[in-house]
Amino acid sequence: MSLFSTEATEITSLRKLRDAEAQCTRCPLYRDATQVVPGEGPISAALMLVGEQPGNDEDLAGKPFVGPAGRVLDRALADAGLDRSKVFVTNAVKHFKFELRGKRRLHKRPNAYEIERCRWWLDLERAIVKPELVVALGATAARSLLNRTVSIAAVRGKILEAGDGMRLAVTIHPSYLLRIIERADKEQEYRRFVGDLRMCKQALREAA
């Protein structure tokens, strides 16, 4: 199946979406990655979390947020009283972008073109899952979802209304916490992250 012959209207289930994503050549990132990493979670999920892109572990496993950042996310969701198995977890960009340093594959941030090209899939995921609230984890996800560059500090801690009726919260990407060296700072930022997720849980409760 050629992606370019696939109409978005034909993609009405997560299984069809995964199959179509696996054929994607909309940007060059499919060439070097091991495989596409589709979103994962129940179609009935009220909450959708959107990260940046798969990392090395996710690229190998074919699943989102299974590496070190995923473990931080799991812990934070649990501390916020959210059950990951009920959340739809995905990324703004579905293939791993990296540069080789010897044998190591080091994460490389996706560029504006790649984010723009991959938004096609994120829009389809949102159309199929129809979450009540979407959470952008980090600036790349926020850029994809809002179609503009935003400062996380400027939009954090509130529920935004996007043009298409999407309700959106923006917080940090959990990998940010992994990069903080100072223990006290790390703990403080982690608590802030959990606070953001608690706010999302409360917003879902109010919408119910």
Give the interface with ligand SF4 as residue ranges (CB under 6 A). Answer: 21, 24-27, 29-30, 36, 93-95, 114, 117-118, 121
Q: Minimum Å distance from CB 38 to ligand SF4?
A: 9
Which tokens sit at 3? 């992606």
Q: State how far the Cα of 36 lies from the Cα of 94, in Å rounded to an integer.
A: 6
CB of 203 to ligand SF4, least distance (A): 29
CB of 183 to ligand SF4, least distance (A): 35
Q: Count other C-beta atoms under 10 Å from residue 2's C-beta.
A: 7
The candidate with the shortest Cα–Cα distance to 55, out of 179, 183, 185, 194, is 179
* Contact status, residue 32 vs residue 106, Cβ threshold 8 Å: no
Complex with ligand SF4: residue 145 or 169, whichever CB lies closer: 145
Closer residue to ligand SF4 in complex, CB, 24/137? 24
Residue 8 vs 207, nearer CB to ligand SF4: 8
Rank residues 27 and 73 by Cβ distance to ligand SF4 and give the closer one.
Answer: 27
For the CB of residue 3, give the shortest distance to ligand SF4 in the complex, in Å.
Answer: 8
Residues in the chain: 208
Asked if 51 and 93 touch (Cβ cutoff 8 Å), the reply is no
Tokens matching residue 174: 């959990």
